[in-house]
Amino acid sequence: MGRSEERTYRSYILRKWLIIAAMLLALAAVSFLSLLAGSSSLTFADIFHSLTGQGSREQGIIIWNIRMPRIAAAIAVGAALSLSGCIMQCVLHNPLASSSTLGVSQGASFGAALALISIGAGTTAAPWLVTASAFAGGIATTIAMLVLSRLRISTPSSMILAGVAISSMFSGATTLIQYSADDTMVASIVYWTFGNLGRASWSEIAMIASASLLSFSFFMLNRWNYNAIGSGRHTAKSLGVNTGFLIPMSLALCALMTSVAVAFTGCISFIGLIAPHAVRKLVGNDFRFLIPGSAIAGAILLLASDIACRTAAAPIVLPVGALTSFIGAPIFLCLILRERRKA
């Protein structure tokens, strides 16, 4: 490589990292706006005093017990869902893949609902058992999609249709569980179908963040392998990538992140589909930048959606899952039309 090519390459790398840095600044700005948003009016001075321990007790409760956990939950869940979508789209060679479009979120919701009915809502052990049951539902759906992706007749369109079928099956099963449950348990199950960032505690947020950081570390360690897989499985194998291990492991980690997020915040659709596509417009298909960029973009998108839900009909807080579905569905249709034109 000559000096001019080396300078061009370094300039290319620098531009990508500057974009990632700008996205981090945008995330910090949106997080601060989220501290301001809500039915209780707080000024910049109130927030500064509360963050430094000089504010009133009421302001401290609003910021540290209500708004900060909500912000942390939005960042952790948004990053988890977006990372999941980014990796699924790569290993399945399907630009329409995400945890919501392939039914993984719905499978995890069914697992969580089944656990709530089995162990009863509100028990001490419930968070761990609900998470384990949600993971079982999510991983079962992931295995089914992995098997379908290996069939020669599978195409991106047929995979999405299969995801719709699986989603409908799990939604129907969840409805049957609700029909046979009492009022208290029905109310608990309905929570999972709405998507709500307000009920996650700090310990639950830590579980979501831990699953996301574990998966993020694995994905970044294999960033070059994902670049190879993007050129095709046969090409990746010829370059020495152990696709027989990497693909199932990647999908298992995607299912883990999605299931833990669903277990504590419910179904939040289309974040994992929209955010990776938006980041590709900025940094391209290089997974060195696409993986961290997707995580940041997912956090920004979910935080912005939550701000809209908290301010649109204040003091009523709308379910964030409903808003993301309302916005994401038209974008999903546009992506389908674009893929059909390419075909």
Per-residue pLDDT tens over the stretch 185-199: 777 777 667 788 887
State the virtual CA torsion across 130, 134, 135, 141 in degrees, nearest 10.
160
Predicted confidence (pLDDT) at residue 340 exceeds the cutoff of 70: no
Q: Provide CB contacts within 8 A for 228, sequence distance 6+.
A: 235, 236, 239, 241
CB neighbours of residue 140 within 10 Å? 19
Q: If pLDDT is split at 50, 70 and 90, which confidence band does 51 have?
A: confident
Mean pLDDT computed over 166-175: 87
DSSP 8-state assignment for residue 181: S
Q: Mean pLDDT across the stretch 62-73?
A: 90
More confident residue, 61 or 239: 239
Q: What is the pLDDT of residues 11-37, one digit of tens each?
A: 989 999 999 999 999 999 999 999 888
Where residue 154 falls (left for φ over 0; alpha for ψ -120 to 50; beta otherwise) is: beta
Task: Check residue 123 and give its pLDDT.
Answer: 47
Least Cα distance to 279 among 73, 141, 85 occurs for: 85
- pLDDT, mean over the chain: 85
**pTM above 0.85?**
yes
Is pLDDT of 251 > 60?
A: yes
Is pLDDT at 147 greater than 90 in this prediction?
no
Given a contact cutoff of 8 angstroms between Cβ atoms, the answer to whether 285 and 224 are in contact is no
Q: Where do the domains of the chain lie?
A: 3-342
Nearest to 97 by CA among 268, 343, 332: 332
* Closest-CA residue to 195 (of 46, 325, 341): 325
Residue 121: left if φ>0, alpha if ψ -120 to 50, beta else—which one?
beta
**pLDDT score for 165:** 86
Contacts with 266 (C-beta within 8 Å, 6 or more apart), sequence order: 109, 191, 192, 193, 194, 195, 196, 319, 321
The percentage of the chain sitting over the pLDDT mark of 90, rounded to a whole number, equals 34
Q: Check pLDDT > 90 for residue 209.
A: yes
- Please list, in sequence order, all residues whose beta carbon lies within 8 angstroms of the beta carbon of residue 210, skipping any fewer than 6 positions away: none
Q: How confident is the model at residue 124 (pLDDT cuts 50, 70, 90)?
A: very low
Domain 3-342 has CATH 3.90.700.10: no
Q: What angle do CA 41, 47, 49 make, to 5 degrees?
A: 130
